[in-house]
A and B are shown apart, each in its own frame.
Chain A
Amino acid sequence: MELVSLFITSFIVNNIIFMQFLGACPFLGVSKKIDTAAGMGIAVIFVITLASVITFIVHHAVLVNLGLEYLQTIVFILIIASLVQFVEMFLKKSAPGLYQALGIFLPLITTNCAVLGVAINNIVYEYEFIPSLVYSIGTSAGFLLAIVLFAGVRDKVDNADLPESLKGSAISLITAGLMSVAFLGFSGLQL
């Protein structure tokens, strides 16, 4: 039950984009079309889940044992970057279909702060292994939800009659802000 509540919390209540404001760069950059947005979202789920498992292991097995917790950030970045590279190579060889679908998004994710954010949050919140896994999946699914919703709204907004000065990024940011306000409605949710 606790795990379900953790999942819902990380998925909607503490949505990574609308509530924590992490990963806003791909959120704004790759949300012009719903299908590319969904591709990006799925790639993020894939990478965040893998990355948090490996960073969790490295943190507890190496950094804690040697008393080097302060190296967290740099070590995690190193691991995430190599992991994404590795995953890209692996997919290219063994799952060309998946690679075609995710390929162009994978390198973008290397520098996505949401990935690092989740890896570090897992440590900060002192989750055990299973809760940290659930937290990662929930958070990244929240990213998918947010980016797909946003792409849908943006599709409509692009065809609306806007004042010249609001066109493009300006209205996107306003839209994102309003969606964030809407997600505030979940913040009192008790599970």
Chain B
Amino acid sequence: MVIVKAVAVTGGLGVICGSLLAFAAKLFHIDTDQRIIDVRNALPGANCGACGYPGCDGLAEAIASGNAPVTACPVASSQAHEVIAEIMGTSAEDTEKKVAHVLCLGCDSLASKKYEHQGVKTCKAAAAIQGGNKSCNKGCLGFGDCVDVCAFDAIEIVDGIAVIDKEKCTACGMCIEECPKAVIEYVPYKNNVIVGCNNRDFGKAVKDVCKIGCIGCKICERNCEFDAIHVKENLAKVDYDKCTHCMVCVEKCPTKVIEGAITEKKQAM
């Protein structure tokens, strides 16, 4: 008899709770955008967070509301990207692929040091002391905080500065968030001409601390036929939409701070 009572109570409570929930689900129903559900189903569902959103649900919402590109999921295959693009009514090629890039070329042999860093070997710790051990206050410190957060093994420290492999980069943005010097930026994947400097000081100040820094001399600006490079606050910036990869600026730059393979010149033309 006791067992019947026990089963009745637990079962009864279960039924009551269940039906209350079912009722509540109807009562508190919210019309979610069908596209969010579709996009969510097309995503891998790994909830890895590599896209920078809290799980696949978060990304699906961002894609559906247009805040994230349809190719924002670095894990999904290109087919999945196409499916998502179809749901959103665009094509996957429409959205330009971006990659993270370190805007600093001041490797150990070119950039001078303020002091010898003896403490914890992380950029965060070094940046807390006088903005880091590099004389240049804007440059890459090269302790590799970004290497540690990169889930795709795309970053390497080469001769004291971080270098991002653009083939492996998925533009997840983890390194950009992690870098205490804010020296990492998104650039279009297709673009090869990038000014590898982040220092907005006057030419002399830059020259004193780094042999390869941008001194804001405007030679690139004057020589560009396409109005695609401009010096603002003593720092040249390439207008990635206008750049035709003619490589004139790369050749003319006196400090060679503009990255770009000269050999690619003909292909690009």
Interface of A toward B, CB cutoff 8 Å: 58, 62-63, 66, 68, 71, 74-75, 78-79, 82, 85-86, 89-90, 92-94, 104, 159-161
Contact = CB atoms under 8 A, between A and B. Distances in A.
Contact of A89 (B6, B28, B119, B125): B28
Nearest to B122: A159
A68 B7 CA distance: 11
A82 B9 contact: no
Interface string B10-37: 1001100110110011011110000000
Interface in B109-132: 119-122, 124-125
B204 interface: no
Nearest 6 CB-CB pairs, A to B?
A: A82-B17, A93-B28, A161-B120, A89-B28, A89-B24, A86-B24
B30 A93 contact: yes
A94 B125 CA distance: 44
8 contacts: A68-B5, A75-B13, A79-B13, A82-B21, A86-B20, A90-B28, A93-B28, A161-B120
Classify the interface of chain A: helix, strand, loop or mixed. helix
Contacts of A161: 119-121, 125
Contacts of B30: 92-93
Given A78-B10, A161-B119, 8 more contacts: A58-B13, A78-B13, A82-B21, A85-B21, A89-B25, A92-B28, A159-B122, A161-B125
Given A86-B24, A93-B30, A79 B122 contact: no
Nearest to A81: B17
A86 B21 contact: yes
A74 B5 contact: no
Nearest to B128: A159
Contacts of B28: 89-90, 92-94
B127 to A, nearest CB: 11
A37 B14 CA distance: 32
A176 B54 CA distance: 27
Contacts of B119: 161
**Which has the most chain A C-beta neighbours within 10 Å: B6, B14, B27, B120?**
B6
B32 to A, nearest CB: 10
**Which has the most chain A C-beta neighbours within 10 Å: B13, B18, B120?**
B13
Contacts of B10: 71, 74-75, 78
Contacts of B122: 159
A71 B6 CA distance: 8
A61 to B, nearest CB: 12
A21 B69 CA distance: 44
